[in-house]
Amino acid sequence: MAASLKLFALCSLLLLAIVVSINAVSSEEEKHELQSLVSNSTIADRTSENLDMSKNGDAVDDPEMVASMVGMSIRNGTERRKLGYFSCGTGNPMDDCWRCDPNWQRHRKRLAECAIGFGRNAVGGRDGRFYIVTNPNDDDAVNPKPGTLRHAVIQDKPLWIVFKRDMVITLKQELIMNSFKTIDARGVNVHIANGACITIQYVTNIIIHGLHIHDCKQTGNAMVRSSPSHYGWRTIADGDGISLFGASHVWIDHNSLSNCADGLIDAIMGSTAITISNNLFTHHNEVMLLGHSDSYVRDKVMQVTVAYNHFGEGLVQRMPRCRHGYFHVVNNDYTHWEMYAIGGSANPTINSQGNRYLAPANPNAKEVTKRVVTTGKWKKWNWRSDGDLMLNGAYFIPSGAGAGGSYAKASSLSAKPSSAVATLTSGAGALICRRGRQC
């Protein structure tokens, strides 16, 4: 018996030593990889192995389950803070996942583990090499130069894209992204401004983090490259800040967006598995459109989590405006709107939880919700408000099965209390991150 225990203990120690060694090697390899790229400013061409696109499902069968998972993540984050795991924790589970690490810059790819909600499986360029953007120019949309953002995003391989320094990138044509890409602007001040902006069309696994996106304009009627092997004619683009078109597994986090020709973020044509979080939206009319048209029924697969965003100064409407799909709007701070905050048509399901709604002074614009209909069919649409804080006369008109107390109880959805929204959204927008410090 004693001999068996000794053998078991020896095997356990040996296994522990192997695990520690593997972790140490991985960390050093990643560190060396990034340092090498910074010094050489080149792109590496190692392919990612075992990436099976067929495993990236689209809409989930039970969106209520995913909404419940958001609540569970929030509760778990709160409990970990009570145990002292996070010295800088805010209760925002996505931020607490990575921002407390003073060595975040050496562990950039850990960000890919931090999304929750419908876009939680977006890995971006986690399984690829780093690409350093060194050149802010966008001289040729068909033959982009190495070192530019356009050259980075069109590559066929997974890439984690970072920036060598602060820069303003004025795009001549839409920036058409390829699958498995992360744009990570932490540590620098990067603006996509005064030209075309970002298009995520029929691709998957995209993370966009830390950009200032503003003053986007209509462009088009030009040739634009979308991969190393393909370019084609693009008609006039609307001028959205970020446009999703038939895209899936997308996480848009900690960006500052304002003043674009059309929407700040639009998702249409069957896009799904999306999380839009920790963003700052300001100075815009039609902020966010989720769903192409009332007649486009393929958008029934659309599932979007809108969480911890600050809808701020100078906004008018569409925060978001929804069609057909399932939309979980949780713990956002609405401090400005002129017409309404959340609207929709074509029978969308809207689950509003733990948000703070501050109505404008206009007595005719106190209602949070707006249903775009001409008949009484909206009464069957499932729109519910759970734990929202209504200020300055704001009010939410619920409807459908979700308006009943029994249904709300059965769904068991738990967001952070709306009283905590100010803390949860205090870091909304592009962050100021410095090397060797908590972000």
Q: Which residues are catalytic, by number?
A: 318
Contact 354, 417 (CB under 8 A): yes
Residue 94: phi and psi, rounded to 5, are -70, -45
SS3 at position 313: coil
SS3 413: coil
Run of H or E including 34: helix 2-40
- How far apart (Å, rounded) are the C-alpha atoms in residues 408 and 130? 45
Strands 256-258 and 167-169 turn out to be: unpaired
Residue 263 · residue 289 · CB < 8 Å: yes
Strand-pair category, 326-330 with 310-311:
unpaired
Angle formed at CA 12 by CA 10 and CA 18, multiple of 5 degrees: 105
d(CA 101, CA 107): 9
β-strands 342-345, 321-323: how paired? parallel
